[in-house]
């Protein structure tokens, strides 16, 4: 299979993914014992998942480490062609995600800031870009599902420059060995091991596995803005549990929930949208299809 193909995960592959999601730095020996393989077979399976881009193992920094305390979703209308404006928005450091989309708004983006004041300033910078006509903002109040979400517990350690360098390396490859990390930062492997374990135990970073939806047949992405009606707790839990749901957040603004979903086709996305429409306590106020992902960088 090549990197752009679709991989069928068997039960053992699925078990490996589950273990790596819990602890992305688990040793091959421990992983083998958990999934019932030899160490060599476990290593081979992990290598295949990584080499085919089915899986990435990365460090996810707690937002507080990056001084991020506020996030929002932007739906953006424009004058003229959307792609050049998307490129301008993607240049902003406060914007980790920009997509060209179908529907009422041709652009969707996420912005982040240290607090609401800084978040407002970031939204204003997007608004002042040439070609931006209107921005509809939904501020996240809590994130219910997100592969890039670190521990909900705030970090309780101070980080120095070496810690930040280690963090950046882990964000690119969460399974770099202590020896490899040591060579990059100029310390002994033992000293690096102590620092990395301190970062993990101090909730500054979580090393986890991110499954590529496209590699397992979920190549089409879309989004939804939802309103809650009455007691919606059961419906919210159900949506968050769906394999198709990639991201889900409670919001203030035009929607009570913003979500990202994935499916194997446009008709598959339509089926997901129909399932949402059928849920009690949920009203779909808007849906869109992602046409192109211009920027997706949560490690900045």
CATH number of 65-148+214-296: 3.30.70.3460
User: Where are the domain boundaries for CATH 1.10.10.10 in the chain?
Assistant: 11-53, 157-201
Tell me what pLDDT residue 291 has: 94
User: Where are the domain boundaries for CATH 3.30.70.3460 in the chain?
Assistant: 65-148+214-296
pLDDT, tens only, 145-163: 987 765 567 788 889 999 9
Helix/strand/coil percentages in the chain, nearest 5? 40, 30, 30
Least confident piece of the model among 57-71, 130-144, 157-171, 177-191? 57-71
CATH number of 157-201: 1.10.10.10
Please state, rounded to an integer, the average pLDDT across all residues of the chain. Answer: 91
pLDDT, tens only, 267-294: 999 999 999 999 999 999 999 999 999 9
pLDDT, tens only, 12-47: 998 999 899 889 999 999 999 999 999 999 999 999
Q: How confident is the model at residue 251 (pLDDT cuts 50, 70, 90)?
A: very high
Instruction: Note whether 187 and 243 are within 8 A (CB).
Output: no
Residue 5, pLDDT > 90, answer: no
Q: What percent of the chain is modeled with pLDDT above 70?
A: 94
Residue 3, pLDDT > 50, answer: no
pLDDT, tens only, 133-148: 999 999 999 989 987 7
Its CATH class, for the domain covering 11-53, is mainly alpha
């Amino acid at each position: 299979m090549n990197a752009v193909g679709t991989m069928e995960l068997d039960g053992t592959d699925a078990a490996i993914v589950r273990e790596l999601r819990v602890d992305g730095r688990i040793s091959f020996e421990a992983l083998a014992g958990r999934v019932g393989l030899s160490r060599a077979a476990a290593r081979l399976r992990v290598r295949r998942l990584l080499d085919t881009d089915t899986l990435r193992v990365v460090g996810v920094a707690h937002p507080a480490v990056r001084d991020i305390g506020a996030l929002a979703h932007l739906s953006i209308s424009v004058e003229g062609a959307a792609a050049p404006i998307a490129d301008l928005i993607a240049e902003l450091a406060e914007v980790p995600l920009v997509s060209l989309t179908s529907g009422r708004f041709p652009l969707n983006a996420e912005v982040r800031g240290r607090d609401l004041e800084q978040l407002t300033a970031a939204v204003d910078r997007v608004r002042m870009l040439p070609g931006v006509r209107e921005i509809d903002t939904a501020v996240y109040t809590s994130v219910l599902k997100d592969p890039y979400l670190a521990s909900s517990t705030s970090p309780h350690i101070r980080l120095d420059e070496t810690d930040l360098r280690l963090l950046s390396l882990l964000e690119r490859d969460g399974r770099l060995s202590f020896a490899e990390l040591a060579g990059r930062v100029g310390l002994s492997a033992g000293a690096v091991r102590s620092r990395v374990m301190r970062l993990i135990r101090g909730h500054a970073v979580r090393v986890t596995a991110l499954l590529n939806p496209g590699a397992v047949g979920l190549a089409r992405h879309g989004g939804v803005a939802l309103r809650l009606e009455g007691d919606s707790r059961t419906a919210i839990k159900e949506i968050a549990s769906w394999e198709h749901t990639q991201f889900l957040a409670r919001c203030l603004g035009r929607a009570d929930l913003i979500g990202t979903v994935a499916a194997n086709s446009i008709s598959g996305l339509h089926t997901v949208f129909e399932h949402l429409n059928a849920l009690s306590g949920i009203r779909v106020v808007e849906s869109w299809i992602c046409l192109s992902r211009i920027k997706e960088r949560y490690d900045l």
